[in-house]
Amino acid sequence: MTEPSPASSPEPTGAPADLPPTVFLMYGASGDLGRRLVLPAFFQLALQGLLPERWALIGSGRGDMTDASFRDHVHDALVEFGPHPDEGPWDEFARHLRFAGGGFTAEDAGEVPDVLTQVRADLGEDAQLVHYLAIPPKAFLPTTRAIDAHDLVQGCRIVYEKPYGTSLASFTELDDAVQEVFTEEQVYRIDHFLAFEAVQDVLHARLATPWLAALWSREHVAQVQIDIAETLDVAQRAEFYDATGAFLDMIVTHLFQIAATVAMDAPADLRPETVQAARDAAVQRFRPLDPAEVVLGRFDGYLDIDGVPADSTTDTLAAVRLWVDDDRWRDVPFLLRSGKKMAADEQRITLVLRPAVDGPYAGDPPADPAVISFSLLDGAALDIGVTLRAPGVQGGAVTGTATLQRTDLPGEPALPYTHLIHHVLHGDRSLFTGVDGLRAAWEAVQPLAADRPAVQDYAPGSWGPADVDRLAEPGVWFLR
């Protein structure tokens, strides 16, 4: 299976001077998502000189926040979550920030029209408008209709946070409404794990490294394992989490998209539409899940958390054996696992390599098989396991690991949301989920709607219920 060579740059390259004046209209700007992730990304773009020369960020919310108090809110968010405002030109950045209170509905647009008119008077009537929906999913539909009702659709771009639907039915309802208002080219659906630099490494290392490309198939890979594990509980998000759970929050969103990044056919080039189409096509080859190959868990003590109903059946861990029906990955299990209160904080993509099939080591696989493993955490690394001769007179075989730290590479890393906003500015949808792939993802999990596995208890600080180990047989989990 020969991999084609990439034919274009993997990143948008236009200079800020080439970008049109841009107005970001951020719904939910005072919320938790904005504070932790979105606003810090805007400031990092400013620090790196990647925003347009003329731009404005209008925060929209129900409160009566003034421009000055919104600027204080952004300043506080940067102090808490970084980059710290003292690291850059805070005063210059702050003058681009405005706030439009009074909410935003189809019946009442609040202060948005007046503030938008004022900003456009400064930037020009032809300023590009980007709607950013950093709001709860239940508000996506009414906000979409409000944007249409107030004639703010023409020429705009719109960014939807995840989850884009919570079932096949809700996805269909939402996307039908979105497609009625916007063209597909206007829509950017976020799955921010796609913007992790280490996840992007999976594609680019494969395309640019011939020996790695040669290993990228069932001929050499026995299993693909994707783990997103946290030691934290859900005490600060109990109400949200109990309505969602690990499977909906992580598996059908983030881990499916990471699996598709591994499983996708190598794109002929790195144009955004080519990359997105290749990833969507991979999801469309996911076999519908077999409920017998899904394990749901709940850590001991979850029901004692304030805000969690005593009769809750929510899962705090989900593990899945997924199959990709194509010639490259036929019969190779993709093992996906994510949970709370687990043994370690780990985010890792691991290709477990097959043992030797001929020669003196055939039929005698090492206890720790060779792997190619991408860590996604801060200071991410690429680990390559190699079987070597054991030191000493007795010899034998031992598996060692060679590690490449991303922190040793030149360049300044960027936050996932910094990548995403930068790509929106340039009209690059390669790091965003496509509608065909999302529909296929919800279709793949549809069997669980009628046959959801019972939730099994597990001890905090473990790797989940014992039944999780069954999914990896005859192999074992790399993280164990």
pLDDT on residue 64: 84
Identify the bridge partners of residue 131 per DSSP, sorted by sequence position: 25, 158
Q: Work out whether strand 55-60 and strand 97-100 pair parallel, antiparallel, or are unpaired.
A: parallel
Residue 161's pLDDT band (cuts 50, 70, 90): very high
> Is 249 marked within a binding site?
yes
pLDDT on residue 12: 67
pLDDT on residue 87: 87
Tell me the C-alpha to C-alpha distance, in Å, between residue 76 and each of 82, 97, 185: 9, 14, 35
Mean of the pLDDT values across residues 425-434?
95
Which stretch of 12-16, 280-284, 289-293 has the lowest confidence by average pLDDT? 12-16
pTM: 0.92
Tens digits of per-residue pLDDT, 5-15? 455 445 665 55
- pLDDT of residue 4 exceeding 70, the answer is no
What are the strands of the beta sheet with 221-229, ordered from one edge?
397-405, 381-389, 371-375, 346-353, 221-229, 334-339, 317-322, 294-299, 455-458
> Is 192 marked within a binding site?
yes
Which domains are assigned to the chain?
16-189 (3.40.50.720), 194-413+454-472 (3.30.360.10)
Give the type of residue at 95.
R
> Is 341 marked within a binding site?
no
- Which pair of structure tokens corresponds to residue 58? 């209008």
- Which pair of structure tokens corresponds to residue 441? 């993802």
> Is residue 464 a contact partner of residue 458, using CB atoms and an 8 Å limit?
yes
pLDDT on residue 57: 98
DSSP per-residue codes, 35-52: IIIIHHHHHHHHHTT-S-
pLDDT on residue 83: 95
> Is 162 marked within a binding site?
yes
> Is residue 349 a contact partner of residue 202, using CB atoms and an 8 Å limit?
yes
Tens digits of per-residue pLDDT, 330-353? 999 999 999 999 999 999 999 999
Helix (H) or strand (E) holding 20: none
Interatomic CA distance for residues 75 and 353, integer angstroms? 48
Q: Name the residue among 242, 324, 238, 224 with its Cα closest to residue 284.
A: 324
pLDDT on residue 3: 58
Tens digits of per-residue pLDDT, 210-221? 999 999 999 999
CB atoms within 10 A of CB 250: 22
Q: What is the mean pLDDT of the chain?
A: 93
Residue 131 known to be catalytic: no
> Is 230 marked within a binding site?
yes
Mean of the pLDDT values across residues 294-299?
98
Q: Name the residue among 414, 426, 420 with its Cα closest to residue 47.
A: 414
Report helix angle 39-47 to 416-425, nearest 10: 70
Residue 357's pLDDT band (cuts 50, 70, 90): confident
Catalytic: which of 96, 254, 419, 422? Answer: 254
pLDDT on residue 384: 93
Q: Work out whether strand 381-389 and strand 397-405 pair parallel, antiparallel, or are unpaired.
A: antiparallel
